[in-house]
Structure 1
């Protein structure tokens, strides 16, 4: 994924957990329908009492049946930036 450029980015900062999950699902379905291959999702690192709830839930969301079939792989673009994840989407058939 390092050689593929990010075609679209979704920033989940400031969203509630429920809103972030809905936004991610909609974003990935739309990106897949538009035949995009590499997208980036910014979860942030979290702060305060909820300390990274979206970031913590993100891997679980990617494994849900309505999303899992769209994704080929995931990677953090930089070890120093754990608040961002690049996703390689499966080719639309």
Structure 2
């Protein structure tokens, strides 16, 4: 698992290569705070996501599509790789 903290969001790449983007609007500020702490500690993040967060993410980048679009133009690659979700504010934000 790899992660990046970008502004107020987290980008997390799981073992299968898919990248999920977690934002305060989708996940909740408190959950993001806990996720950042777990990521920095190096333990428990995957378990926390599977038990507490589940499918409350903003975007999902599929590994297969990322690999196919590496040679594409940047705008086309971005358009091809993003699975957008409509996000309602989380009650814990």
> Normalising to structure 1: TM-score of the pair?
0.25
Q: Compute the TM-score of the two structures, normalised by the length of structure 2.
A: 0.25
Q: Which structure: larger Rg? A: 2
Q: Which is helix-richer, 1 or 2?
A: 2
